[in-house]
Structure 1
Amino acid sequence: MKLIRFTVGGRTRLGKVVGDSVVDLTDAAEGCGNSMRSLLSALPTLRAALEAANSPLYALADVVLEAPIDDPQKFLAIGMNYKAHAEEAASAGIHVPDTQLWFNKQVSCITGPFSPVILPRESKQIDYEAEMGVVIGTRCRHVSRQEAPGVIAGYFVGNDVSVRDWQFRSPTFTLGKSFDTHGPIGPWITTADEVPDPHDLTLTLALNGEERQRTSTRDMIYDIFEQISYLSTVMTLEPGDILLTGTPANVGIATQTFMQPGDIVRVEVTGLGAIENMFIPEPVA
């Protein structure tokens, strides 16, 4: 299934995408409201009803797709997890650790798959990072690599928008990764059963129609299952927690290409869809 949050008639609902249509899952996901986190928590029980639902029906073109999950407890991202990007960072004098490097994106940065992304007044170094995202579906701790596939609810497309000067002010990266609207995700959550091999997908990013990033998820240094095992050693992962799994080489900072007003960034992952966001100046208060 392709699970979404969508707005129609001024009301945000849960749904699924079937071809060019949206099926409203409000009745099938009774008690979940418009919270994808609640739906994912109950997914094992609700799955049959969600799969069987076929109405109410809307045209996909007539609804607004929202961030598929807007209330995760955790939004974590791994740094320098593709070989070429790690080499790119090392050549710029950035230390590349010999273990997984994780940082937080505050959940308040989440925005929709086609929503504008704000260029903050405080920086001129706003950058893009194409990423594939993972959504946890099962509360878990101390998960082995072999067990990890069983705790994944699904996958999505993301852009780890980064304010580079703020990022490097602190070794945690958190501030430079967490400006409002700097976590566009979507367009939907593709459930794990529809992704036979998440490590054999193509990830691309285009800036104003010009391709800037391309890689295969085969090139991850630490694969998704290793990532989940590593994180769950430290913390309990909850349904709805989201992880970004790394970006390929040719981020903007490598060529001093930073986002300008009107720039449009499109990120696509084969089989998972695409998100596309325009960068706009921060409104004057």
Structure 2
Amino acid sequence: MRLVTFRGEGGTRAGRVDGESVTPLDAPDVGTLLAAGPDWRERAAAAAGRPVPLAELDLAPVVPHPSKIICVGLNYTPHIAETGLDTPEYPTLFAKFARSLVGPSDPIMLPEASAAMDWEAELAVVVGRTVRGADRGEARAAIAGYTVANDVSARDFQRRTTQWLQGKTFDSTTPLGPALVTGDEVADAADLEVTCAVDGEVMQRGRTSTMLFPPEEIVAYVSGIVTLDPGDVLLTGTPAGIGDSRVPPVRLRPGHLVTTEIEGLGVLRNRCSK
């Protein structure tokens, strides 16, 4: 199953993707659908409204208002190597806030304050049920599905202190979507290709199978710290190829088109703007 959140008159609406069309659901967005109860999948499957063409829809972030966005840094060995940092024993966690999110074709708003904006293609996990203190099996069962994200980062702000948050959550900088895809469609995202291109030039290419901490381990670990709620989003780290590690460093500029793609999950195409 594939679910989207799309914009229309008066707000947003969740929808079920059926090929090239979308069937509207009785929920204002995918996060609200998940939070309404554990039977969200059955309710989504049973919807029989009038379909609308997918190509005509203005897609919002697939989960527009998650209560938590928790991110993992340093989760692909080649990326750890390019940063020169040590391999972590535990997941390296930081957070974003919902105002950082944009839709799959919305502009990335480069902040005036930063001169070092960078791309990071990432697999995102969406939580489908309340989970606390889970083992890996319980964590896997709590995952509603997967989607595509780009953890666009202000490297200059990120390095001001040892804490990364200030470089990671500028408003309107984090594309998320286009759809929530349930695990049965993508073998639980165990081995998917992840790419990021800037103006058509591929900058990153990796596979989710090379993660140091796979999605279910991340969910289990985080749930031992804080209760995860339906609609919460976890970003799982980026493969090698960031602009900051190139010589000289490459920065995002107004007009750049950032194309983020994960095999089986979809594509984000976001133009950088001021």
* Number of matched pairs: 272
* Contact 2:38–2:129 under 8 Å retained in 1: no
Contiguous gaps of at least 5 residues in structure 1: 27-31
Looking at structure 1, the residues matched to 37 and 270 of structure 2 have their Cα atoms a distance apart, in angstroms, of 30
* Residue 120 to residue 68, structure 1, CA distance change in 2 (3 Å): same
Aligned position for 1:77: 71
* Deviation, structure 1 residue 230: 1.1
Aligned-pair distance for 1:95? Answer: 4.8
Structure 1 contact 89–96 (Cα < 8 Å) conserved: no
Paired with 1:51 and 1:216, the residues of 2 have a C-alpha distance of 30
**Residue number in structure 1 paired with 2:170:** 179
The C-alpha deviation readout for 1:234-266, integer Å capped at 9, x for no partner, is 111111110000100010101100001100011
Structure 1 Cα separation of the partners of residues 255 and 273 of structure 2: 6
Q: Secondary structure at the match of 1:239?
A: coil
Secondary structure class of the residue paired with 2:273: strand
TM-score (norm. length: structure 2): 0.95
Kindly state the Cα deviation for residue 8 of structure 1 after the two structures are TM-superposed.
3.2
Match of 1:21 in 2: 21
Secondary structure at the aligned position of 2:209 is classed as helix
1:62 to 56, 63, 76: 56
Aligned counterparts of 1:197 and 1:136: Cα–Cα separation in 2 = 13
Match of 1:271 among 238, 244, 264: 264
User: 1:197 Cα deviation (Å)?
Assistant: 3.3
The C-alpha deviation readout for 1:194-246, integer Å capped at 9, x for no partner, is: 23231111111111111110111111011111111111111111111100001
Is the CA contact 2:75–2:213 (under 8 Å) kept in the aligned structure 1? yes
The within-5 A match list for 1:192-271 is 192-255=183-246, 256-271=249-264
1:119-138 equivalence runs, <5 A: 119-138=110-129
Residue among 153, 157, 166 paired with 2:148: 157
2 CA distance for matches of 1:116 and 1:183?
A: 10
Letter of the 2:13 counterpart:
R
Q: Once the 2 structures are TM-superposed, how far is the Cα of residue 51 of structure 1 from its aligned partner?
A: 0.9
Where 2:33 maps in the other structure, the secondary structure is helix
CA distance in 1, matches of 2:259, 2:58: 17
Would the aligned equivalents of 1:22 and 1:58 in 2 still touch at CA under 8 Å? yes
What residue number does 2:38 align with?
Answer: 44
SS of 1:147's equivalent in the other structure is helix
Over 3 Å counting, the alpha-carbon distance change for 1:43 and 1:147 in structure 2 is same
Residue 9 of structure 1 and its aligned partner are, at CA, apart by: 4.2
Structure 2 portions without partners, runs of 5+: none
Superposition RMSD in Å: 1.4
Native 8 Å contact 1:125 1:259 kept in 2: yes
